[in-house]
């Protein structure tokens, strides 16, 4: 079977998909102008020791703060103390990132003394997935990114130390291709952003993240018909849907508390799917755990949060702006002479202008800067493309 990583590059964004033959196994999005910080090595400073929370707040580079639990190295620290830390979980919901002070000797040697500073970037999505799939070929559709992988730019004088974009361990697997994602893969990835997934059997998965948990409903739909043998049909349907359910949790990077309402069976019968559901989840590298079934028959799953889930990555003005730039870059491939004007809501404009990578990347591709028009009449994440002289 053929295993490969496909890296589709667009201004300010890299999307990495892992496929075995035509089956999508993993998916991740990198935004180099707004990285989530996971894996970054910092020299921090203890800002506040909080015994009631069993940890401490640590000041990081750029006025950010993260939380360092006692179990990860906060115990015995004092306010104002310099400390080397690495981000283990991205910020979420207004809360800062989670940290650890458990560093190896090489990282510890970089910490030194001085004010809070970013010392080294963590691995990007390609580096993480290339390490997870050591035998896979890597197809990249942007020659500039491939060149940067092979010859990482050195930081300017006075800048924080930056890790190489990619280790030499997988550079020999990289190959340039005209297009990393075909239309079928693009459609499958677009579907990951939708709440409903209709299966070939006619069953439907409805996936709804909330601030407290992720609710997943399995609806039999047209997959169960007639009155005869409905219980057996529901048993078969739920059994068949479990691998798809586990794959969607992984591909969408759903995390935290996940409740699953299986189709059609009474609560007591649903507990019988526990072993099969645990087996379906077992291949997930984040090791989600099935905690059991509630009195209402809902399967309780907990999956660690490390990187932001896909629905968060696809929401907001920055994601909208990058989608616009992706569309423009795609159109440029068809006709390099035509660069439209981007009219967008002020929040989208602000997000793009705060991204140090996206607009310069598009200008590199187009040979000139994109003209921007802010339009307060548009909804917060709306944008449209216009002819340059329209």
State the Cα–Cα distance between residues 72 and 249, nearest whole angstrom: 28
For the cut 60, the answer to whether the pLDDT of residue 92 exceeds it is: yes
Q: Are residues 296 and 203 part of one domain? A: yes
Average pLDDT over residues 110-122: 93
Cβ(55)–Cβ(44) below 8 Å:
no
pLDDT at site 165: 46
Q: Are residues 294 and 201 part of one domain? A: yes
pLDDT at site 158: 52
Q: How confident is the model at residue 390 (pLDDT cuts 50, 70, 90)?
A: very low
**122: buried, middle or exposed (CB in 10 Å: 19+, 13-18, 0-12)?**
middle
Domain that holds residue 375: 314-386
Q: Are residues 286 and 201 part of one domain? A: yes
Q: What is the CA radius of gyration of the chain?
A: 23
Average pLDDT over residues 230-258: 95
Pick the most confident of 15-19, 59-63, 106-110. Answer: 15-19
Q: What are the pLDDT digits (tens) for 41-70?
A: 999 999 999 999 999 999 999 889 999 999
State the Cα–Cα distance between residues 36 and 92, nearest whole angstrom: 10
pLDDT at site 1: 59
Q: How confident is the model at residue 383 (pLDDT cuts 50, 70, 90)?
A: very high
State the Cα–Cα distance between residues 363 and 320, nearest whole angstrom: 18
State the Cα–Cα distance between residues 193 and 199, nearest whole angstrom: 16
Residue 308 lies in a domain: no
pLDDT at site 334: 87
Could you give the number of structural domains in the chain?
4
Query: What number of H helices and E strands is found in the chain?
Result: 11, 20
Cβ(249)–Cβ(301) below 8 Å:
yes
Q: Are residues 269 and 199 part of one domain? A: yes
Q: Are residues 58 and 27 part of one domain? A: no
Q: Tell me the pTM.
A: 0.92
Q: Are residues 223 and 249 part of one domain? A: yes
Which of 256, 274, 303 is the last residue before a domain boundary? Answer: 303
For the cut 60, the answer to whether the pLDDT of residue 130 exceeds it is: yes
CATH number at residue 99: 2.40.50.140
pLDDT at site 166: 55
For the cut 90, the answer to whether the pLDDT of residue 195 exceeds it is: yes
Residue 268 lies in a domain: yes
State the Cα–Cα distance between residues 65 and 45, nearest whole angstrom: 9
3-state secondary structure of 209: strand
Residue 379 lies in a domain: yes
Instruction: Write out the two tokens for 212.
Output: 């407290």
Nearest partner of 310 among 302, 319, 321, judged by Cα: 319
């Amino acid at each position: 079977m053929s295993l490969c990583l496909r890296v589709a590059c667009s201004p300010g964004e890299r999307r990495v998909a892992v496929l075995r033959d035509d089956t999508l196994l993993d998916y991740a999005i990198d935004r180099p102008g707004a990285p989530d910080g996971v894996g970054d090595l910092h020299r921090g400073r203890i800002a506040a020791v909080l015994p009631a929370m069993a940890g401490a707040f640590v000041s990081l580079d750029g006025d950010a703060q993260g939380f360092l639990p006692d179990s990860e190295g906060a115990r015995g620290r004092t306010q104002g103390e310099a400390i080397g830390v690495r981000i283990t979980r991205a910020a979420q919901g207004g809360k800062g990132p989670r940290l650890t002070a458990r560093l190896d000797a090489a990282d510890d040697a970089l910490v030194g003394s001085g004010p809070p500073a970013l010392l080294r970037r963590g691995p990007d999505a390609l580096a993480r997935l290339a390490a997870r799939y050591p035998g896979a070929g890597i197809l990249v559709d942007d020659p500039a990114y491939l060149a940067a992988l092979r010859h990482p730019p050195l930081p300017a004088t006075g800048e924080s130390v930056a890790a190489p974009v990619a280790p030499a361990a997988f550079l020999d697997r990289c190959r340039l291709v005209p297009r990393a994602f075909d239309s079928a893969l693009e459609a499958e990835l677009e579907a990951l952003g939708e709440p409903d997934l209709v299966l070939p059997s006619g069953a439907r998965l409805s996936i709804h993240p909330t601030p407290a948990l992720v609710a997943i409903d399995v609806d039999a739909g047209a997959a169960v018909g007639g009155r005869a043998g409905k219980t057996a049909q529901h048993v078969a349907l739920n059994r068949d849907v479990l691998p798809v359910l586990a794959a969607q949790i992984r591909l969408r990077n759903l995390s935290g508390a996940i409740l699953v309402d299986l189709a059609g069976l009474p609560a007591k019968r649903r507990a019988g799917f526990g072993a099969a559901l645990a087996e379906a989840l077992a291949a997930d590298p984040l090791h989600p755990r099935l905690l059991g079934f509630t009195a209402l028959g809902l399967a309780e799953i907990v999956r660690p949060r490390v990187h932001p889930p896909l629905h968060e990555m696809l929401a907001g003005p920055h994601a909208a702006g990058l989608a616009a730039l992706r569309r423009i870059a795609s159109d440029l491939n068809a006709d390099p002479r035509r660069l439209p004007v981007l009219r967008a809501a002020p929040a989208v404009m602000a997000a793009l202008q705060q991204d140090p990578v996206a607009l310069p990347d598009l200008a590199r591709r187009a040979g000139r800067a994109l003209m921007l028009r802010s339009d307060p009449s548009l909804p917060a994440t709306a944008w449209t493309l216009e002819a340059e002289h329209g």
